[in-house]
Amino acid sequence: MIMILIGPPGSGKGTQAQRLEQRLGAVHLSTGNLLRDEIAAKSSLGKTAETFMNSGQLVPDQIAVEVVAEHMKRGEPDTDYILDGFPRTTNQAEELDRILEERGLEVGTVVEIHTNDEVLMERLTGRFACANCGEGYHKSFKRPKSDGVCDKCGGVEFEVRSDDREETIRDRLGVYHSETAPILPYYAKKGLLVRVDGEKAMGDVTKEIETILIDGR
């Protein structure tokens, strides 16, 4: 089974993919994670990808396709995959069909986790972390028990991650609408697309996706 999760940054694709991986025994394949591994390994691919990622832009299609193709080549031919963050352009969607065809496979289900931009901005811009121990907080959903003091280590300094800055998030949302959302009709035409409401509680979204998979759409 090849399942694709499509959704803007902050829609919860990564969390859903992790939960489904455990429940379905499928492999969670996140291009964002694979690219971050390449950056950590200081590979030449990682160095190229880093510049794009830091500015909230997509890495070139060729790079994204290469990391996915390489990863799949290493897996067993009958591995089930949950793709998170790939494909992100129509060209990548077409390349994915080609990679799968070579392995005698095809995309089974595509789930769009639909979430409004205002909700995403609130989720992503509200995040901050203790500068001392890294414990994560959110200004609306998870404040320290005592304002300005870290629950875990008592630290009093907090910081906002660079990729959670408002301008970068706006750029990433803009890229989602201009580059990634246009692939939804590609899958809708094939009768593979289902939409879930990403504004519901995480657990409810997981249940909804599981039902879709069990009922076969």
Q: What is the DSSP string of the chain?
A: -EEEEE--TTSSHHHHHHHHHHHHT-EEEEHHHHHHHHHHTT-HHHHHHHHHHHTTPPPPHHHHHHHHHHHHHHS-TT--EEEES---SHHHHHHHHHHHHHTT----EEEEEE--HHHHHHHHHTEEEETTT--EEETTTB--SBTTB-TTT----EE--GGGSHHHHHHHHHHIIIIIGGGHHHHHHTT-EEEEETTS-HHHHHHHHHHHHHHT-
Q: Is 217 a catalytic residue?
A: no
Q: How far is the CB of 145 from ligand AMP (least distance, A)?
A: 30
Binding range to ligand AMP, per CB under 6 A, among 70-78, 84-92, 108-116, 200-208: 84-92
Rule CB under 6 A: which of 168-187 touch ligand AMP?
172
> Which is closer to ligand AMP, CB of 13 or CB of 155?
13
Rule CB under 6 A: which of 7-26 touch ligand AMP?
9
Q: CA–CA distance from 62 to each of 107, 122, 210 (Å)? A: 20, 33, 32
Q: Is 88 a catalytic residue?
A: yes
88 interacts with ligand AMP by CB under 6 A: yes
Q: Is 13 a catalytic residue?
A: yes
155 interacts with ligand AMP by CB under 6 A: no
> Which is closer to ligand AMP, CB of 52 or CB of 158?
52
Q: How far is the CB of 31 from ligand AMP (least distance, A)?
A: 3
C-beta nearest to ligand AMP: residue = 32
Which residue among 21, 45, 48, 52 contacts ligand AMP (CB under 6 A)?
Answer: 52
Cα 86 to chain centroid, rounded: 8
Q: Which two tokens stand for residue 215?
A: 């009922």
Which residue among 2, 4, 64, 150 contacts ligand AMP (CB under 6 A)?
Answer: 64
53 interacts with ligand AMP by CB under 6 A: yes
Selecting among 73, 161, 190, 207, the annotated active-site residue is: 161
Binding range to ligand AMP, per CB under 6 A, among 39-47, 56-64, 120-128, 186-194: 56-64
* Phi, psi for residue 45 in degrees, rounded to 5: -60, -45
Number of C-beta neighbours around residue 21 at 10 A = 17
**Catalytic center residues:** 13, 88, 127, 161, 172
Residues that bind ligand AMP (CB under 6 A): 9, 31-32, 35, 52-53, 56-59, 64, 85-86, 88, 92, 172
